[in-house]
Amino acid sequence: MSRSATGPQTIDSSDRRDEIVEAAGRLFSESGYHTTSMRDLARAVNLQGGSLYSHITSKDEVLFEIVSRAADEFLAAAASVPAELSPAFRLARLIQGHLRVMAREIRLATVFFQDWRYLSPERREIIALRRDEYEAHFRDTIEAGAEAGVFHVESPRLAAIFVLSALNWTYQWYDPNGSLSPDELASQYCRMLFGALGGPNQLKLEAGND
Amino acid sequence: MSRSATGPQTIDSSDRRDEIVEAAGRLFSESGYHTTSMRDLARAVNLQGGSLYSHITSKDEVLFEIVSRAADEFLAAAASVPAELSPAFRLARLIQGHLRVMAREIRLATVFFQDWRYLSPERREIIALRRDEYEAHFRDTIEAGAEAGVFHVESPRLAAIFVLSALNWTYQWYDPNGSLSPDELASQYCRMLFGALGGPNQLKLEAGND
DNA sequence: CCTACCGATCGGTAGG
DNA sequence: CCTACCGATCGGTAGG
């Protein structure tokens, strides 16, 4: 978005900036946004505290960068699900995509869920809109499935919340380095979630592209 | 802004202490533990900043008090489920109890989930044990149901996490003052969760005591 | 319960 | 990218 030219004086390889954001993702996800100081962050990238500010403009901006990237990943995964698929297959792919992103970017996701409320109001609003957009993918798919008679739910809105609860909570316990692969988890969660929605029982997920 | 009678210097009415903890529950749940200062808390109970410390000893202690009360409520609800019930009914009652506590004590629950990680290590450990104890109620019940052939799950452990995901996430969106009552929510969640576990379809929850 | 104060630390800036 | 520094604010204490 804002690749504002920081001026000619600093070379500011966005390499360095990326390094800072990545370290921040790690530190914030481990210790929380407010308990990580800018000096902690500087130390993690071998800089003095003040030197951070030739690469970033504020702590809030760093948080936004992390949360934004997480939102990007989730939205891209949802957008990659072919609209021609049936609602049941679409939902299965949404679930699989969500859990793959969660496994690949668990630190971004953790900061997203834990600290996005501490963004400045303007930036928080931007994220709120994208989160709504993401949830709409699930709600619309469930609604379509309900109308087609493949899902049987009392309230598609509540059902969407229910599905997203299971998916979002994974950041609290899932270990990407553990023995449970994201696709294996997706398979088990699909089974349970389809049961919850009164949907079809044996969907085969092609182990395809993202 | 009443300068309430400075009265006799009290040793510590636990009334006052309760008032402080309750206000802290409200403030922490709205703004987060680290973004609420002790001066904010003092103002909310019409005290000067330093005066708080005749009733409490530290900010960490206040947080522990809130998180502890939340744990108390959840554990009491689980303990009140009769052990003689069948696994399916037991699980239904666990779900209902959880959602009733959530509705009644949403501020305590919010602070619990959002800020318990910021407790001092010793206090965090105490809470971790109680959380494990609570989760065991769910896991054991699901395991018993699976062995009895009433639930059909691949992994009781994962199924328990799944169930608790849906329940715990409610603090993020449920409005106790909205039109959806906790028992109505419990009824819908039971239907979906039993579907997820391949369990029986029509359980009637008696609208009984706690 | 208040006034006054403590040292520590915070995010961020100036100037080179 | 560093050194040196800013004002603000933090949780907590002393002494009455």
Q: In whole angstroms, give the CA distance from residue B112 to residue B123.
A: 13
Per CB-CB distance under 8 Å, the chain A contacts of B193 are 196
**Amino acid in position B58:** S
**Amino acid in position A153:** V
Nearest residue on chain B to A166, judged by CA atoms? B165
Percent of the residues in chain A that have a pLDDT greater than 90, as a whole number: 87
Per CB-CB distance under 8 Å, the chain A contacts of B118 are 32, 35
Please say whether the beta carbons of A210 and A97 come within 8 A. yes
Residue with tokens 């954001």: A21
A59 touches strand D (CB under 7 A): no
Q: In whole angstroms, give the CA distance from residue B71 to residue B77.
A: 10
Q: In whole angstroms, give the CA distance from residue A199 to residue A201.
A: 6
The answer to whether B165 contacts A170, with C-beta atoms less than 8 Å apart, is yes
* Chain centroid offset of residue B151 CA: 26
In chain D, which nucleotides are within 7 Å of a protein Cβ?
A: 1-5, 9-15
With 70 as the cut, is the pLDDT of residue A141 above it? yes
The DSSP symbol for A204 reads: P
Q: How many CB atoms lie within 10 A of CB B95?
A: 23
Q: Distance (Å) from CA B59 to C1' D6?
A: 28
Q: In whole angstroms, give the CA distance from residue B97 to residue B61.
A: 27
Please say whether the beta carbons of B73 and B108 come within 8 A. yes
CA distance B111 to chain A (A): 12
B57 touches strand D (CB under 7 A): yes
Q: In whole angstroms, give the CA distance from residue A86 to residue B202.
A: 29
The answer to whether B158 contacts A188, with C-beta atoms less than 8 Å apart, is yes
Of A114, A154, A195, which has the smallest distance from its Cβ to B198's Cβ? A195
Q: In whole angstroms, give the CA distance from residue B24 to residue B36.
A: 9
Please say whether the beta carbons of B138 and B187 come within 8 A. no
The answer to whether B169 contacts A170, with C-beta atoms less than 8 Å apart, is no
Chain B interface mutation, best of A150, A192, A193, highest count of B Cβ atoms under 10 Å: A192
A12 touches strand C (CB under 7 A): no
Tokens of A146: 């309900």
Of A158, A168, A173, which has the smallest distance from its Cβ to B188's Cβ? A158
Closest C1' nucleotide to B9's CA: C1
Number of Cβ pairs < 8 A linking chain A and chain B? 63
Residuewise pLDDT in 10s, chain B (210 residues):
333 333 444 445 578 999 999 999 999 999 999 999 999 999 999 999 899 999 999 999 999 999 999 999 999 999 999 999 999 999 999 999 999 999 999 999 999 999 999 999 999 999 999 999 999 999 999 999 999 999 999 999 999 999 999 999 999 999 999 999 999 999 999 999 999 999 887 665 554 433
pTM of the model: 0.90
The helix (run of H) or strand (run of E) holding residue B169 is helix B156-169
